Amino acid sequence: MLTAATMTVLAVSLAKVAAEPTSSSNAAASTPPRATVGTTKSGVLGRIDLYQQTRRPLAFTVAVAKKFGDDRAGRLAALIAYYGFFSIFPAMLALVTVLGFVLEGRDDLRRDIADSALAQFPVIGAEIGNQVGHQLTGNTIALVVGIAGAVWAGMAAMQAAQDAMNEVWDVPRTRYPNFAMKRLRSVAMLLLILVGLAASSTISQLAVNVVSGVLATIALFVATAACNTLMYLVAFRLLTVARLTWRQVLPGAAVGGIGYTALQVVGTLYITRTVNGAQETYGTFAVVIGLLSWIYLIAQLTVFAAEANVVAARREWPRSLFTPAATSADERTVAAQATENTMDPEESVSVSFDARQVTR
């Protein structure tokens, strides 16, 4: 579950961006009109609804949260976590093996990158390292087959992330990537993660060598957040076939990068509490529960940040707290979700709304 602090930071950082006109592959070519306010409720509920719609940071946050619910984004995050859990071990095995060959004779660098990967999983990273700490061995053919198999298994989470991002951007199913292109994008994402791990390891070394004490901690956090933001920036464009600009994915990338870095700081406490709470019920499987919980938390943050990009780019705010649709942003959002489900290139979907009593 995302914290209120994360949502507040999101609203403040994106409100200005959301108010500026942008283009989107799934929106009309012209700039979408400024959303009207309105509610189908009367009395206290109606006043509360209109109040949040007229306060920009609050209205934007509500719009992102509502789109998160409309897309059933918790389900998308759960799929990413499910496939991510089964992808971690083969992906780590492939990483250790590839590093063993590419960085042969440079044990320190190889160990730093591997440790950087394990550090993404507070508390339970050491447990994962114990399971995949040794690289694959054998003749050349066996190694190639083994690495290919490990990479193939490790792509599952990337493919689930692609499906989630395409659904978040309401990409029609007829435009989803084919079998080959989907796997190529997944491999590109794995390479991006590898580059990010190497950069993270380098940043850690520089922060320790350049400054010390509290300044080192602050410098490390800022540099790591910048690195994570850059990775999110590339990932948000790579994981969807929607035609996006760097500017459209920058706000969510900043929220995702800073949020992920902050979660790394408090992750030890979160994982420790999760594992300890599960030990009485699940025993030795408590580590599994902790790992799944951590991946799911990161997946939720990522999808939430992507939803923020959509709301900001299409100006899908303010939204009414209630149904039926009462604002123009409500109508645009619902219409986009309807056209997303086209299954045939010859299929045409039109959306209309019946007249209703709206208070503005």
Element holding 179 (H helix, E strand): helix 179-210
> Quick check: bond before 345 cis, omega within 30?
no
360 residues of the chain, pLDDT tens digit each: 444 445 444 544 554 544 454 444 444 334 555 558 889 898 999 999 999 999 999 999 999 999 999 999 999 999 999 999 888 878 777 777 777 777 777 777 767 776 777 677 775 666 666 665 566 565 667 667 777 887 887 789 999 999 999 999 999 999 999 999 999 999 999 989 988 888 887 877 776 677 777 887 888 889 899 999 999 999 999 999 999 999 999 999 999 999 999 998 888 777 777 777 777 777 667 778 888 999 999 999 999 999 999 999 999 999 999 988 889 999 999 989 888 888 888 888 888 888 766 665
Please state, in angstroms and rounded to a whole number, the distance separating the CA atoms of residues 250 and 349: 31
- Look-up of token digits 């045409």: 348
Task: Give the span between the Cα atoms of 63 and 69, in whole angstroms.
Answer: 10
Nearest to 162 by CA among 171, 152, 153: 171
Amino acid letter, 87:
S
Per the CB < 8 A criterion, the answer to whether 7 and 65 are in contact is: yes
Q: What is the C-alpha end-to-end distance of the chain, expressed in Å?
A: 33
336 Cβ contact list (under 8 Å, min separation 6): 26, 27, 170, 314
The per-residue pLDDT for 35 is: 58
Q: What DSSP assignment string belongs to 252-266?
A: HHHHHHHHHHHHHHH
Query: How confident is the model at residue 30, as a pLDDT?
Result: 45
Beta bridge partners of 39: 359
